[in-house]
Structure 1
């Protein structure tokens, strides 16, 4: 039992550092929170949390070892992630001031610019599911931190915790960024922030390719 609590504490601390550091998930949530209603940002955050389960499942099945023993498989993941982030980034830098008219509590003034809940969830889910940073995190977690002798049930509970904690973190971030006071302060240049985050996503995408 002591080993289990030690593992959980280590996992929780490492996850806190990982989820708080800037990355594709953070950039996407910030972009959505500034240009979409609050509920869409929350659905995107939930999608990111559920996306964690992809990494949890392949880690529990031992498939994560393939990333370590089969370099080309990880390279494919890098390229898929880079292309997807590049696509999102290019769309973001084309943001216009119309995105500022999104209402925080109701539908946007221009319905064509408002994402559906399903689209927001899908955006978060795919962004995290393709996130190579998350892949490396879980590869390290299940090969270094978590003992092979740890029961499968406990490993599953760790995964559920990580997915839940991630989703809650980004949901809280979404609520903060879509608070009326925060929105009023940034409303006049929200589209520039959107473009900036689009540029960040493009830089992340290109860095994945360059580092490869």
Structure 2
């Protein structure tokens, strides 16, 4: 059972979603440190989701649908904000200017921004709440001990967080980053459009619940 929970966590993390694209964009544009910071932000959000799920907050959301709808709308608005900022990014005039701008952002506040983006992207994503609710409802029975709940949760945190850290390291290699810098103008717009697409899907699902 423990292995099954771990595998489910890995597969869920590898499926493209808002978290995946945020880690990928930050890793390509700012390097592996910012990407890892983003992954750590996602990991902290996972701890939040698992904690309230185990403590029963997921059942509160089921009992009060308006609360869940509000979370869905907040998550969609944040994804729209991320997507909008990516789409409106200006094309670099030359490589030196791009390099100096990236280094300036990195030195001042990029690590914290990456961490915050990762945290907010995941903690405001209603699909994360649904994911943990479905996982725990499938693998946890009435006679399952409390410590087993936390082991399952820790497995998912390790699997998902570890995958995003690995993704940040792999995708920030110089060849990937050079390709990204060359086509950053269009790549940002593509990722921004994908994030907005996810936001629209969340909005639509929220409207259906009203």
TM-score by length of 2: 0.88
Change (3 A) 1:31 1:101: farther
Aligned length, in residue pairs: 203
**Equivalent residue number for residue 86 of structure 1:** 80
| Further displaced range: 38-47 or 157-166 | 157-166
Which of the two has greater helix per residue? 2
Q: Which residue of 1 aligns with 2:45?
A: 51
Matches within 5 A, 1:20-99: 20-98=14-92
* Among 139, 143, 148, the residue aligned to 1:154: 148
Partner of 2:100: 109
d(CA) in 2 for partners of 1:59 and 1:112?
40
Change (3 A) 1:164 1:87: same
Q: Which runs of 5+ in 2 are unaligned?
A: none
What is the alpha-carbon distance in structure 2 between the residues aligned to residue 175 and residue 126 of structure 1? 21
Q: Which stretch shows the higher mean deviation, 48-57 or 12-21?
A: 12-21
Q: Which runs of 5+ in 1 are unaligned?
A: 1-5, 103-107
Stretch deviating more after TM superposition (54-63 or 176-185): 176-185
**Aligned-partner SS, 2:197:** helix
- Inter-CA distance 99–22: structure 2 relative to 1 (3 Å threshold): farther
- Find the aligned partners of 2:120 and 2:180 in 1 and give their Cα distance: 28
Task: Determine the structure 1 residue equivalent to 2:128.
Answer: 134
Change (3 A) 1:13 1:126: same
Deviation per CA, 1:18-68: give whole Å up to 9, x if none: 111111101111121122122111100111112100111101111111222
Superposition RMSD on alpha carbons, in Å?
A: 2.3
Residue-by-residue CA offset, 1:98-151 (whole Å, 9 max, x unaligned): 49959xxxxx51255444322211111111111111110111112222223222
Is 1:35–1:194's contact at 8 Å kept on the other side of the alignment?
no
